[in-house]
Amino acid sequence: MIIKNLTQEQVKTIYNNHMVNDFPASELKPLSMILKGMEKKIFECLGYVDEESGEILAYAVFVKNGNDYLFDYLAVISDSRNSGIGSSFLKQIAEHYKQADSVIGEVEDPVFAKDDEEKNLQERRIGFYKRNGYIDTNVRVKLFGVDFKVFEMNLGRKHSEEEIKQLYKSHYKKILPIFLYWRSVKIKK
């Protein structure tokens, strides 16, 4: 398996066939926003590709802001789940971004789950990231009404909570119109 930068056509296919099912509508950015961001080099979309077949087994979308990255989406294609592909992909992503200044991402906060099933799923996701070297930054946010914990990829240096908050704000100010940023991005104290 190798990591490849995805083309806009590949992103369109993944979005329409997978992302709309893999993520709640409340968390999914419009496809047009991702494609425009790719053109402006703000969004970086990666695929985890089987070298022999060329099949994309997993995908990730990052917001790029200088040498800092926000892990926006990660999913394994449904037919490849529960096979170790996700962990393998995360290891390759860590290698891919080893020269980055930071890589942060958000995971739904199970404290705010609507039921036990949702809470268990969110706790499993958090466990997955922790097992794969991600660090809970203790920063909590509310993004478009959804509560998240912010995690940081372990690149051998840990940022302070204040640095993480500033990085987080910087990423969203880069991709959202300012009125939408102020209305939709809340950093908790």
Residues in contact with 24: Cβ distance below 8 Å, sequence separation at least 6, in sequence order: 146
Question: What count of residues does the chain have?
Answer: 189
DSSP 110: G
CA 34 from chain centre, in angstroms, equals 13
pTM score over 0.85: yes
Q: pLDDT by residue (tens digit) across 37-88?
A: 999 999 999 999 988 888 899 999 999 999 999 999 999 887 767 778 888 9
Three-point CA angle 71, 75, 81, nearest 5°: 145
Determine if residue 133 is left, alpha or beta; phi over 0 gives left, psi from -120 to 50 gives alpha, anything else beta: left
Distance CA(125)–CA(107), nearest Å, equals 7
Rg (CA), the chain: 16
**Mean pLDDT for the stretch of residues 19-24:** 87
**Mean pLDDT for the stretch of residues 92-113:** 91
Q: pLDDT by residue (tens digit) across 106-150?
A: 999 999 989 999 899 899 989 999 998 899 999 999 998 889 999
**Mean pLDDT for the stretch of residues 182-187:** 93
Contact (CB, 8 A) for 58 and 85: yes
Tell me whether residue 45 is exposed, middle or buried, using C-beta atoms within 10 angstroms of its C-beta: 0 to 12, 13 to 18, 19 or more.
buried
Tokens standing for 6? Answer: 């995805």
Tokens standing for 74? Answer: 């990660």
Question: Can you give the pLDDT at residue 157?
Answer: 82
Question: Can you give the pLDDT at residue 79?
Answer: 74
3-state SS, residue 26: helix
Given pLDDT bands bounded at 50, 70 and 90, which one contains residue 23? confident
Tell me whether residue 157 is exposed, middle or buried, using C-beta atoms within 10 angstroms of its C-beta: 0 to 12, 13 to 18, 19 or more.
exposed
